[in-house]
Chain A
Amino acid sequence: MTFTHLHQIVTFLSGASDTAPAPLRGSLGLALRGFAWAFLLLLIYAFSGQTNNFIYVNF
């Protein structure tokens, strides 16, 4: 797997790209997308209790 492949997979799984690269088409792709959602939800659940609020631009 090349760096370009990896980049395409990450951008698709994160929602930044609409085009599914070859390994993510079909049922394997669906399973991986489901896994990505579960992983993201787990991260959000695990860390959302923090009170370390932070913002970039002082608007």
Chain B
Amino acid sequence: MIFTTLPYYLLFLLPAAVLFRLGSPRLRPWILVFTGSVFFLYFGYQLAGPLGAACLLIFLWEAALSRLYRPGSLWCLFGMAQSVGLLGVFKYWNFFTGFLGPYAAPLHWSAAFLPLGISFFTFEFFHFASDRRAGLAESGTLAEYFAFILFFPTLVAGPIKRFQEFVPQLRLPLSDWNFDWERGWTRILTGLAKKFAVADLLTSFTIHLNAPDILAADRRVLPLWLLAYGVKIYADFSGYSDIAIGSSRLFGLRVQENFNWPYLRPNIRLFWRTWHMSLTRWLRDYLYIPLGGSRVSPARIYANILLVMLLCGLWHGAGIHFVVWGLWHGLLLVGHRLWRKLRPQPSTHPVAVFLSWLLTFTLVNAGWAFFCMDLRTATLFYRRLFLG
């Protein structure tokens, strides 16, 4: 995790935030471009060697291409297709060609690697191309777009930004430095504490989520391991988001929140409105609504929800178990819609609210089995849990 390393703070965050504060408004986007480029080269190289660092060229290409985007333009469609293509090739090539069975061998990419932050930056590329096509985003200057895609606190794992929300802040005079730094560092410390004292600590439980341990364990302990994973994944990713948001604050920049107490929500719909919010928003705007949103027939709505959640699962990782996890949440969302048809007004009785929360929390945590284990191990987990 980059955010828990000293180089992140000493070599990148502190110098970049100070430079940004001291730089003139005209220079500020270029400061973000420069520091983001060095960050990508440094950590990209660490992650995947020279080829990983060379992927900085993707950003150069995208920034140049973005100058051709106009409302209604075919270049925007090309840009959108290119974003999906980049993600498809780097992340899913071996996964999809693997389905060809014995014919897959010549197509196997043995030196496959993942460019740093590809799942996130391709979604920002797609957003900009799509919004430019629809006339929802101005083009900005080259430096502004470059700064948007190379802003390093959110480059690796989000939150997934919006150009319209990010770039106007670069043009405004910077707000109170002292207040921003106090708030920013507080948020960073909270994120680090969540990561170290909760997420990493729970590894001592979640490390047992593997076939030999599941077979050997007393089955009454299995739900506790899964619960530990549910808490851990929340503490880890919300901690990561805290650090990204706090780091942005040191620059005087605000980025979207990613979590809003999702485990306290009384139904699955509200859970998804408060869990990884920047991804949910992206999926809604660029997948669910273009598919017809809630304006189509009920059957189409349910099919759309299932498809969006299937792709949401696949986005989290190239594996069948991620697809199953996505479908599980799709089914829960469809089930919730059907329930709302039967009971349009949710009960406000405290017992009903508590039971609703308990059910949501249990079902969400039950789904993590398919997220953290491959399909065979997750099936074994449930066979062992229910059948002994």
Contact = CB atoms under 8 A, between A and B. Distances in A.
A56 B200 contact: no
Contacts of A56: 157, 233, 236-237, 240
Contacts of B187: 14-16
B380 interface: no
Interface stretch (B78-86, B110-118, B339-347): B110-118
Given A15-B246, A53-B1, A57-B317, A40 B118 contact: no
A40 B242 CA distance: 13
Interface residues of chain A: helix, strand, loop or mixed (majority) = loop
B193 interface: yes
Contacts of A40: 186, 189-190, 192-193
Nearest to B261: A7
Interface in A16-36: 16, 18, 33, 36
Given A14-B187, A15-B242, A36-B186, A54 B192 contact: no
Given A48-B196, A56-B237, A59-B157, A41 B189 contact: yes
A52 B237 CA distance: 15
Contacts of B157: 55-57, 59
A58 B1 contact: no
Given A15-B246, A40-B190, A41-B189, A55 B236 contact: yes
Contacts of A33: 186
B201 interface: yes
Nearest to B47: A59
B236 A59 contact: no
Contact of A58 (B114, B201, B246): B114
Interface residues of B, number: 40
Interface in B242-288: 242, 246, 257
B124 to A, nearest CB: 13
Nearest to B179: A18
B270 to A, nearest CB: 16
B278 to A, nearest CB: 12
A59 B157 CA distance: 8
A2 interface: no
A40 B114 CA distance: 33
A50 B240 contact: no
Contacts of A14: 186-187, 190, 242
A47 B196 CA distance: 5
B294 interface: no
B40 interface: no
A59 B116 contact: yes
A47 B204 contact: no
B156 interface: yes
21 contacts: A14-B242, A15-B187, A15-B188, A15-B242, A16-B187, A16-B242, A18-B179, A33-B186, A40-B192, A43-B196, A44-B193, A48-B196, A50-B200, A50-B203, A54-B1, A54-B203, A57-B237, A58-B318, A59-B117, A59-B118, A59-B119
Given A47-B196, A56-B236, 14 more contacts: A14-B190, A15-B189, A16-B187, A18-B183, A33-B186, A44-B192, A46-B197, A52-B207, A54-B203, A56-B157, A56-B237, A57-B237, A57-B316, A59-B157
The 7 tightest CB contacts between A and B, nearest first, are A15-B187, A15-B186, A52-B203, A47-B196, A56-B237, A40-B189, A43-B197
